[in-house]
């Protein structure tokens, strides 16, 4: 497994686990049966941090759709450099930071973390064309 694929795997695991805290909050707020029921307009709202975490999870999924193919294309091309490894590591840690600051309600830092992750994706896209 390449180092880029390792970072992709860690990113997938992170994204796959992000639902757990907000579903636990849903169980706490609505009870287990309420959490398992179909959504309703009359449902008790989540805690604010849980609502923000849901949005962060959505954003992580949306960006995984871009990050994963870039890494897989590089693996298919058998192209790995320090730049691509660093970009994948930076992307992962930017996503971790994004989830934390988004859940905490820190909008400027949320945008900065997102932007860092975006530029990591740019590095990977450039690497596909062997520009970096």
Q: pLDDT tens digits, residue range 84-121?
A: 999 999 999 999 999 999 999 999 999 999 999 999 99
83: in domain: yes
Q: Read off the pLDDT of residues 3-25 as tens digits, 9 standing for 90 and up.
A: 999 999 999 999 999 999 999 99
Which domain range does residue 99 map to?
3-17+47-128
What's the pLDDT at 67?
98
The CATH number linked to 86 is 1.20.120.550
Q: How far apart are the first and last CA of the chain?
A: 21
40: in domain: no
- Residue 68 backbone phi and psi in degrees, to 5: -60, -50
**Does residue 132 register a pLDDT over 90?**
no
Q: How many Å apart are CA 104 and CA 115, to the nearest integer?
A: 18
* % pLDDT > 70, the chain: 100
The candidate with the shortest Cα–Cα distance to 7, out of 90, 126, 101, is 90
């Amino acid at each position: 497994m390449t180092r880029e694929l390792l970072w992709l795997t860690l990113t997938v695991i992170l994204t796959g686990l992000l639902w757990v805290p907000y579903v636990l909050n849903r169980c706490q707020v609505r009870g287990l049966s309420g959490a398992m029921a179909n959504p309703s307009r009359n449902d008790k709202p989540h805690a604010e941090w849980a609502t923000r975490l849901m949005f962060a999870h959505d954003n992580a999924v949306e960006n995984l759709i871009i990050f994963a193919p870039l890494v897989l294309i590089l693996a298919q091309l058998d192209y790995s450099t320090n730049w691509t490894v660093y970009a994948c590591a930076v992307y992962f840690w930017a996503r971790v930071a994004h989830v934390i600051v988004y859940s905490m309600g820190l909008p400027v830092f949320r945008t900065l973390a997102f932007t860092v992750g975006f530029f990591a994706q740019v590095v990977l896209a450039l690497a596909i064309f062997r520009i970096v």
